[in-house]
Amino acid sequence: MRLLGNILWLLLGGLVLALAWALIGLVLCISIIGIPLGLQSFKMATLTLAPFGKTVVHGGGVGATLLNVIWVILAGFWMAIGYAIAGVLNCITIIGIPFGIQSFKMAALALWPFGAGIVTR
């Protein structure tokens, strides 16, 4: 079921989103200051490629929390809202509920990426 979900996800826009996240990561990694943000963008690209069967595990310490606060102020809040809206719209139909759940998972990672890891279930 995971394979079918991931294939449908890629065909319905996941591949475009993953490529966009990877491009953002490359642009951010041009400067030394942007490297930590670029690495988080690559993390989002990884999850966006195949979200079914993966779980986001949050952790980290004080440094991760401080970086997350900066991330939320700069971009994370708006990205998380976008994913949450996509999740709600997907959940309108029964068929879209699994895709909505994946969008909510990505909203959580987009809001608070530092110190978070992606674990395969």
Contact 68, 114 (CB under 8 A): yes
Please state, in angstroms and rounded to a whole number, the distance separating the CA atoms of residues 21 and 109.
13
pLDDT at 74: 85
Which residues touch 98 (CB under 8 Å, ≥6 apart)? Answer: 5, 52
Contact yes or no for 50/9 (Cβ under 8 A): yes
For the entire predicted model, the pTM comes to: 0.83
pLDDT for 13 equals 85
Residue type, 34: G
Where the chain has pLDDT below 50, the residues are none
Structure tokens of 52?
A: 């079914």
Where along the chain do its domains lie?
A: 2-120
Q: Encode 55-66: b = buried (16+ Cβ within 10 Å), e = exposed.
A: ebeeebeeebee
- Give ∠ CA 100-104-117 in degrees, rounded to 5: 130
Q: Do residues 72 and 111 lie in contact, with contact meaning Cβ atoms separated by under 8 Å?
A: yes
What's the pLDDT tens digit per position in 63-87?
A: 889 999 988 998 889 989 999 999 9
Tokens 């890891």 — which residue? Answer: 117
Question: What is the reported pLDDT for 103?
Answer: 92
Q: Please report, as a single letter, which amino acid is at residue 24.
A: I
pLDDT at 88: 95
Q: What is the pLDDT of residue 59?
A: 84
What is the distance between the alpha carbons of residues 100 and 68, in angstroms, rounded to a whole number?
Answer: 24
